[in-house]
Structure 1
Amino acid sequence: MSTPRTVRLTTAQALVRFLAHQYTERDGHRQRLVAATWGIFGHGNVAGIGQALLETGPAAMPFLQGRNEQAMVHAAVGYARARGRLSTHAVTTSIGPGATNLVTGAALATINRIPVLLLPGDVFATRPADPVLQQLEVPYAGDVSVNDTLRPVSRYFDRITRPEALVPAALQAMRVLTDPVATGAVTLALPQDVQAEAYDWPEDFFAERVWTVRRPRADRDGITAAAAAIRAAQRPLLIAGGGVHHSGAEAALAAFAEATGIPVASTQAGKGSLRHDHPADVGAVGHTGTATADDLARSADLVIAAGTRLTDFTTASATLFQDPGVRFLGLNPDPYDAHKQAALPLVGDARETLDALRAELAGHRVDAVYEQTYRKAKAYWEGLVDRAFHTPDESARPTQAQVLGLLDALVDDTDVIVNAAGSLPGDLHKLWRTRSPGQYHVEYGYSCMGYEIPAAIGVALAEPGRPVWALVGDGSYLMNPTELVTAVQEGLPVKVVILDNHGYASIGGLSEAVGGERYGTDYRRRALDTSYTGAVLPVDLAANAASLGMAVIRARTVRDLREALAEARRADRPTCVYAETETPDTVSGPPPAQAWWDVPVAETATRTSAVRAREEYDRQAAARRRHL
C-alpha cells in the first residue's frame, strides 16, 4: 500500500494554494470561486497570510490592497453580486480592530446572501504569553476572542487551532460559499501562530475542485397546485425579488409574463428583473414603490413572491395586501422564505420553477381588462417620472430627482448604478428606468452607508469596461470615502456622484414625519441654544475627493451637471462629480411614498408634532394584518 504524497507548507500557504484551485460551475460555465484576496496587514496576518500571498504569487492569487476593512468586504460583495454569486473575493485582516471592522461588512453580505470569505487573524492558539496584544480577556471562557463577534453574522464560522483542522474547515467553507440558499459571509479565524506553522499536507488537498451550483426544482405536485391557484385568480401579481437575478431567471420571467399577462412588480433587489419598458413591468413595490404596483398589490387576490424575502419595505409593514381573500405563492429555493405569509410553497430555483409554471399554464392568460388597466396605470406613472425628471431652468441648482433624470438621459444598457443608503434608494426604486439585469445595484437588505464607493470598485473589477456609477449622499460619503484611493491606485474609472444636501436628509425627512422635528440631522454649527441650527458647515467634499487622487468636476447648475456627467462617463480615470442639490418642491420632487412603513412614534408626548404623528401612526397601523 503506497503512502499518500504530501507537500510541506505553512497553514497560510496551504490555504492560499487551496483557494487558487477552487471553481464554480453552473449551466456549463466554470470560473474561479475566489478570484482575488483583499488585505490590510498587521501583526496578526503579515507573517502568515501576507507571506503566503507573496510566496504563492499574483498569478495564482491576485492581491488587492485596501484602506478600510469594512470597505474591503463591501468591495468583495459588489464583485460577487456582479458575478452572479458564482465568484467572490477573500478578505484578510489582522486580529484586533482590523478583525472587528469586518462585522458590518459580514452582516451586509449575510443579510443579502452574497458570498464572501473572511480570513481574520486571531490570538495565539499555543498561548505562549497571556494576554497578547489586542487579546480580549474573558474570565469565564479562555477560548473567546474578538473574532467571536463574527459568529452571528457569518453563515459558517470556524477557528483553525491546528493546521490539520484546515482541511475539513476549508471544504465546509467552500460548500457554504457555493450554496444558493445558505450563502453569505464565511469566516475562518486564523490564529497567528497556526498561520505560520508548517504541516505535511496531502497533495489531493490542492487538486482542482469544481463546486456545482445547483438548481433545485420544485416538486411536481407543488407546480400543479400553484398553476391551479394562478388559473383561479382574477387579479394576480408577481413580485420579483433578488432571487430572480441570483438565478439568472430574467429571461424565464419575461417569457412567463408574456405568456400569462401577469404584471410584475419588483423589490429593491429584484429591480431590473424586467426592463422598465416591458409591458408587464409595473415598477417598484412597497413603501418606496410606484402607485401602479402598490394599487395592484392592494387589490391582488394572488401574490406570487418570486425570490423575495418579503421584507417590511416590500409589504409596507404588513399593510399592503388588503384583498380579504388574498393568497400567496412562495417561489424560493429557501423553504424558510417560501413559507412566508402562510404561502403555498414552491421550493426551487427561480428559473426552473418559472419555466415549469409557464409550461403548466399553457394557454392561460389574465383577463384583457385587467391587463389594459395596469398598462394604463403604468403609463400614468411614467408621466409622473417625466415630471420629476423635467429641468425647466437650466441655471437652477438641481433637485435629486433631476440628477437622476439627467443620468437617465445619458446612460445605456451597459451602465451600472450603485447605491445603498439615504434618500436615494427610495427615489431610485420609484423613478429609475432599469435597462439591463445588472444595471440597478442598490444594496437595501442592510442599507449600509458607505457601501457605494467600495462596491463600485468591486463591480468595476468584475465587469471591466462597464461604466460604473457610485451615487453617494454627503452623509454616506463621510462614512467611508477611503477606497477612492484604491480606485486611483488600481486605475479603475469609477464615476462617483456626490450629492450634497448638508446633512442626513433622509432621516431628517423621516424625523419630521414621526414628530422628531429633524432633530440632530443637519450638518450645521451649534446655535446659541446649543442646537445644530447655526450656519452650514464649511466642508468641501469635492476638495476632499481631489485630495485622495480623484479627478473632480464641480456642477453648480442643471446645465453644469449635464455636462459634468457626460464628461465623467467619457473619462478613463476615477472621476468625481460634485453637486449641491436643491430641496424638492411639489413640482420638481419625486412622488411621495405610496405605502406605509412602520417606524414607531412616541405614544405619549407634549410636543404637537409628536402628538399628531402618533395619531397618523395609529391610523396606518390599524391596516396591518397577518396572513394566515
Structure 2
Amino acid sequence: MTAPSGTVRLTVGQALIRFLVNQYSERDGAEHRLIAGAFGIFGHGNVCGVGQALLQNELDPAADGGELPYIMPRNEQGMVHAAAAFAKSTNRMQTWACTSSIGPGALNMVTGAALATTNRLPVLLLPSDQFATRVPDPVLQQVENPQTLDTSVNDAFRCVAAFFDRVNRPEQLFPSLLQAFRTLTDPADTGAVVLALPQDVQAEAFDFPVAMFRKRVWHVRRTPADTASLDRAVELIRAAERPLVVAGGGAIYSAASQELREFAAATGIPVADTQAGKGAINADHPQSVGGVGSTGGAAANHLAERADLVVGVGTRYSDFTTASHTQFKNPAVTFVNVNVRAFDAVKHSAEMVVADARETLAALTAALDGHTVSPEYAAEVAAQKAAWDAASYAASHTGHGPIPAQTDVFGALNELMGDDDVMINAAGSMPGDLQALWRARTPVQYHVEYAFSCMGYEIPAALGVKLALPESEVVAIVGDGTYQMLPMELATIAQEGVKVIFVLLQNYGFASIGALSESHGSQRFGTRYRTGGSGHLQEGVKLGVDIAQNARSWGIDVIEVSTIDEFKEAYRSAAASDRATMIHIETDLCGPNPPSSSWWDVPVAEVSRIESTARARAEYVTGRASQRHYC
C-alpha cells in the first residue's frame, strides 16, 4: 500500500522507535540525544512489535534518522534501575527506554518505576499489554478482572508513574508521546513515564505524518525566582542569626554546585547535605558541614538543632533529613525552600521560592552582597566542622579486627577513588555510614539511591552509570543481602564488556535491619543467615552460599581479600584491569558504625511479653516527644 503524500506507512512499534531517535534535550546550550538507547527483554507481547522495530533500526538506522542502541539485560527491574542510574548521572538530561512483554515482564518493572519517580528521575517504560481488539482474550499472562475488561496488570503503574497512558489506536501515539516527553523533560514533574502498548497495536500499520519524526529539541527550562519571592527570602536570610542551608538532589540536577559554593563563601552560611545532595558542595569547603538528619554527622546535626532559618535547596525533606521531624529543634525555626516543584517547596510552611536552584542561588548571592553571618556563628561552624572531620576520619580508620569494619572499607575507597570516579550504593546499613563519613569532592562522586533505597539497585546501576560516564571509574558497593536480590545484570555487564568494580561486603546477614531490630527490642530476629536446623536468634553455622564463586559464574573477575591492606591492593589491580571485577571482603555484621547524633521514627510494639521490647518502647516514647510539625 502506498502512503499518502506527507505520510509514511509504519507500524506503531516502528513509528515509536523512529520518534525516539529524533528527540533531543537542551539546557544551557548543550544538546543531547534524550533517549540514549533501549533495554529490552522480549516475549510474545513485544518481540514482533517493538522488538521488530529495534531490529529494523539496527539493520538500517539511516532510515530512522539514526541508531537507537539496544542492550539485552537479564531482569526487567534491573534494566529500569540501569536507566534511572544513567539519568541520575546525566543530571536528568538523558535516559534509556525499557521494553518488556506483558504480565510478569511488565510487573517486574513496577519497582523500578517507583524508584525513578520517588527519586525524580526520568525513565521511559514501554510495557506490552493485552490485545486492544480483545478477540483472543484471555491471552497468555493476561489477568482478567471480572468487574471490567478495561484494565490490565499495567494499571499497577498508575500509582508510581509521573505519566501513564495506554495506546489503544495508532492515532493515539503522537499525542501520547508529546505528553510523555513533556514529562520526561520537566524538572518539576519528571519520573517514570509509562506507555502501555497492546501487542496487536504494536504491529498495526498506519500512515503517520512525516513531520512527526522531525528532529525535536526539548528545552529544559530554568525558571528564575520571581522578584517578590526572592525579596522575601533575602529578608529572612538577613534577619537570621543561625541560618543553615540543606542541599538536596535538586542542587546537583540543576548543576548549581558552583553557585552553591559561591553563595556559602560569600555569606558564611553553613551547608549540610542530604543523601541526594552530597557532593553539591565539596567536603573541604569551609562552609561544608556534611550530612544532616538521622544518618548525618554531628556537625550538621548540632547546627540544625539550633538553626533559626533553614534554606532548603532542591530537597524533598525525607524523614531521614528531618530525623522524623525532630532535627530542627529551635522553637522559632522557619524555612525558605527553593525548589522547581511547588509540592516540595511548600513543606514545613516554608517561604516558597518555586524556581531553578542555580538561578536562585546566583540571585541570592547578588542580593545579599556584603551580608555575612556573625563572627561568633562563623567560629562555631568552623569548630563543629573541625571536630566532625576528626571524628569521621577516626570512624573510617578504626583498625577493627580480626574481621574489618565496613567503615574502614569506605575510608580506604574514599582515598583511593578519583574526584570524577563514582561510588554507588542504595540499601542496608551502608547508606547511613556513607552519608556520615564519605567526603565527596565533586557532584558526580557520590551516587546513593536513598529515596526508595531499593535492594538490588547497585549492580544494574553500575551498568547505567558506566554507560553515562565511560571515563569514570565506577564502583558499586554491594552487600551480600542486596547481591542475592538482583545479581543477574552481572551477565549483561560481562556480555557488553563494561568495566566496573564491585565491592562485595559479606557479613552473613542484614546488618542494617539487624541493628535496627536490636536497638528496638527485637533481638535481630530474622536478620542472620541460618542453616535449616538453627533457630532465628542463634548464630548457627554460616550459610554455605559462595557469593564469590557465584559472581565468577556470571563472567566477571573476583578477588577475595581479608584485610584492608589486601583490599587496597585489590582495588589498584581492579582499577588497572579492563574487565569487570568484584573485590570480595568479609566485614563485621555488628559494626562498629559512626557515632549517632539523631533519631528516626520506627514504632515499637506498645505492649509485649518480651522485656527487650518493653524497654525499647519506653525509649521510643521518649524519642518521639520532640516530634512536631514545622508550622
TM-score tier after normalising by the smaller chain length:
over 0.9
Contact 2:295 2:320 in 1 (8 A): yes
Kept in 1, the 8 Å contact 2:117–2:160? The answer is: yes
Partner of residue 611, structure 1: 614
Q: Does 1:95 align with 2:98?
A: no
User: What is the CA–CA distance in structure 1 between the aligned matches of 2:452 and 2:536, rounded to whole Å?
Assistant: 33
Show the counterpart of 1:568: 574
Letter of the 1:620 partner, please give it. G
Match of 1:11 in 2: 12
Pick one of 274, 281, 284 that aligns with 1:267: 274
In structure 2, give the amino acid aligned to 1:153.
V
Question: SS at 1:42's partner residue?
Answer: coil
Q: Does 1:112 align with 2:119?
A: yes
Shift of 1:516: 1.0
Q: SS in structure 1 opposite 2:48?
A: helix
Q: How does 1:108-507 map to 2 (within 5 A)?
A: 108-390=115-397, 392=399, 396-507=402-513
Which residue identity lines up with residue 51 of structure 2 in the other structure?
G
Distance 1:25 1:360 in 2: 29
Match of 2:549 in 1: 543
Name the residue aligned to 2:558: 552
Alpha-carbon distance in 2 for matches of 1:60, 1:164: 25
Q: Which position in structure 2 is the counterpart of 1:591?
A: 594
RMSD: 1.2
> How does the TM-score come out when normalised to structure 1?
0.97
Q: Which amino acid aligns with 1:566?
A: R
Give how far 1:32 is off.
Answer: 0.5
| Offset at residue 89 of structure 1 (A) | 0.3
Give the deviation of 1:558 after TM superposition: 2.1
Distance 1:529 1:402, change over 3 A: closer
- How far apart in 2 are the matches of 1:42 and 1:392? 51
Please tell me whether the aligned partners of residues 396 and 558 of structure 1 are also in contact (alpha carbons under 8 angstroms): no
Matched, 1:601 2:607: no
Please name the residue that 2:53 is paired with. Answer: 52
Deviations 1:145-173 (A, max 9, x none): 11111111111111111111101001110
CA separation in 1, counterparts of 2:158 and 2:231? 41
Superimposed CA distance per residue, residues 8-28 of structure 1 (whole angstroms, 9 cap, x where no aligned partner): 000000000000000000000
Taking a change above 3 Å as real, the CA distance of residues 105 and 529 of structure 1, as seen in their structure-2 partners, is closer
Q: Residues 530 and 536 of structure 2 are in contact (CA less than 8 Å); yes or no, is this contact kept in structure 1?
A: no
Cα deviation for residue 389 of structure 1 reads 2.4
CA distance 1:576–1:324, shift in 2 (3 Å): same
1:82 is the counterpart of 2:89: yes
Contact 2:243 2:309 in 1 (8 A): yes
- How far, CA to CA, are the matches of 1:415 and 1:396 in structure 2? 30
Shift of 1:446: 0.1
* Whole-angstrom distance in 2 between the partners of 1:76 and 1:41: 17
Structure 2's unaligned 5+ residue stretches are none
Whether the aligned pair in 2 keeps the contact of 1:330 and 1:345 (CA below 8 Å) is yes
**Amino acid aligned to 2:80:** V
Distance 1:210 1:73 in 2: 24
Deviations 1:299-348, CA, capped at 9 Å, x for gaps: 00000011001110000000111111111001111111111000011110
Distance in 2 of aligned mates of 1:534 and 1:260 = 57
1:272 is aligned with what amino acid?
A: G
Deviations 1:574-615 (A, max 9, x none): 000000012466xxx332321100000000111111001000
How far does residue 390 in structure 1 lie from its aligned partner after superposition?
2.2
Aligned pairs for 1:31-46 (under 5 A) are: 31-46=32-47
Cα distance, 1:147–1:392 mapped onto 2, change above 3 Å:
closer
Task: Give the equivalent residue in structure 2 for 1:622.
Answer: 625
Q: Which deviations, in whole Å up to 9, do the C-alpha atoms of 1:184-231 show, x marking residues without a partner?
A: 000000000000000000000000000000011111011111111101
Deviations along 1:391-430, one digit per CA (max 9) or x if unpaired, are: 547x843210110111122112021000000011001000
**Residue type at the aligned position of 1:282:** V
Question: What secondary structure, in the 3-state scheme, does the structure 1 residue paired with 2:336 have?
Answer: strand
Q: CA deviation at 1:533?
A: 4.0
In 1, are the aligned partners of 2:243 and 2:269 still within 8 Å (CA)? yes
| Structure 2 CA distance for partners of 1:279 and 1:38, relative to 1, 3 Å | same
Give the 3-state SS of the residue equivalent to 1:445 in structure 2.
coil
Structure 2 CA distance, aligned partners of 1:530 and 1:253? Answer: 49
Q: How far apart in 2 are the matches of 1:361 and 1:542?
A: 56
Counterpart contact for 2:242–2:309, Cα < 8 Å: yes
Q: Which runs of 5+ in 1 are unaligned?
A: none
Q: Deviations over 1:449-494 (max 9, x none)?
A: 0000101110000011200000011000110010011111111111
Q: Identity over the aligned pairs, expressed in percent?
A: 54
